[in-house]
Structure 1
């Protein structure tokens, strides 16, 4: 087959961005060209992996450094709201998030037609939570990638997206949906007006993106999926069983203390690193323990002093190269961290703060692959007990070994690339 061009358009966050990098790497190995449509602040990320990247404005023009930190600053401004239950985040964090996302779709529509005409893609893959009409209307197959929890595709029998609720809490589901629809109504009406301007039909309340008629790919591992009232059609919905990119190798450094102790990896992602008080509290806990820890502190390394000798902090880790070497992961529930722990068979303690982290934390606990922990309301004894359970629970370790074998056998990036190429026919 002659070389074709595949365009990837992930949202401006490292999780979706690096998922798409993994798929683009696999597409390239098949002899095709992969290019990125990119938030201007992320262009260098894709170029760093060797890909061509074309900026698409998702907000009013601003200096590139400021644009790259837009979501980081947004998250940091909401840290007090992370102490709230998911339903109590709807009228603050969730509301403001959707306002910004709708605004980004409006801005993107200014650039997308020209950028698409320039690169002339044969297939377009979008990893976002909102429709970009220009992509749907371009005239080539387009794919929706769902790198968040699979309940982003709604179903009345499963917990609503962002709720962090148990699968069995049907009464809670109804309360959450009602509150979400009430708060989101004016934002949704504004988005429907934008869709009308673009010649698109309105969406039902609460929906901002439709499934693709061509293909929808879920990063989620199928063994953890919810029991839906209406099963998803495999002709249009495929699970990628985790989609782990190839990243730089990582050698665990020598520790000045506890060098033979169990190794923890602690990361709240690039956006969650601004919660320095929480990370400092966890570092202090590790400093008094028999463990070692690698801690991702993002852009805030200068905020840390007196690091215990059994802790190493860095601003960035090649996570897919780190997780296979550790014993337990403490993370925020982002879907990359969630799926990578399962992919490599590592138990996780999830301290969620926003978005699908709430859903992933509940799911990992309900299915027996790790623990959910409140982000702030815990004692050292609570966390130590969870870490020890992760290290010693043979049933959990057996489940993790099984799902790791399953996910690695599926080769998610290769599967995704083959699905994309199949659309050319």
Structure 2
């Protein structure tokens, strides 16, 4: 195997897709350098990623399968510590993963998704009503005013978190996905979300409600073998983070794509394309996740002639999947609702497939359809090249999304 110097990932996320293309050129699996000098493997092709996501020899448990973490070589203030220190369904392996997923899966049944629809419609209407107060020439940050609060508040409702606590926790989640944080900030992030979850759990023990946290607290208190206290806190946080951040960036990317190409938006308005087409094509060409940390090789794994040694950490490069020319040879970087094959892996595949995919599709369809119905003249207020990416190689989105809700008022002649 040819040994190259590890490719240093850009912590500022300035060019997610350019970086993914450069990594793909180095091979389907290539070594990359993370903050703190930690070296991992980036997986960059659809076929290899799909194999790894379904391979039982690949684990997400640092405490069981990452020797550097187990032996204390990864410091407690490592910049990505929150992604590996969790003990929950996301990071569990084998029987533990099955046990935790079964518990959490009860909260994401089709019946519960259907029952959640009225709340999705209600909150969408509230946010759009608030947007209508904007003046005809006012530039509005649609990420801050719509793309962010809609999924964030809905997921907070699912776990029974009050708005004040949600707003505080949102700042912690924002810092967690920021790959430019300092070690000191990374430690504060870990302490911040664990403290917030402890407070929420204590509240639900005092006053249970009709929410996921109350259900999991009941399961924990009725049978301590079902869920440890740490697993309980970390699982609730995983639901909050995964359910909000990815959907926020999905909205951001979908709205940007539709406003950047009026011919694509017209396909929706004419009925020649559906909102499901928008969802899948956005997830294909602009996965809300870029590089997701971390998985680990439980055994030596050979991938297209490259051997990933047992114990090495792995990053899945989701931003590379849908744009892989081997999967989509026809203009893979172009947003095209008429594309017959919109294959992507943004919801994952295999044992870690997203439990909330059904709710995410409901929120996406409701939010987008009502937004474009309420504001048919919606337009970007800047060129797409002026949109600033988030400071991260983990997520794919923009710092802000400036738009005008109505057509500009013509200047008076004179």
User: Normalised by the shorter chain, which TM-score bucket?
Assistant: under 0.3
- TM-score of the two chains, using structure 2 as the length reference: 0.27
- TM-score of the two chains, using structure 1 as the length reference: 0.26
Where is the helix percentage greater, Structure 1 or Structure 2? 2
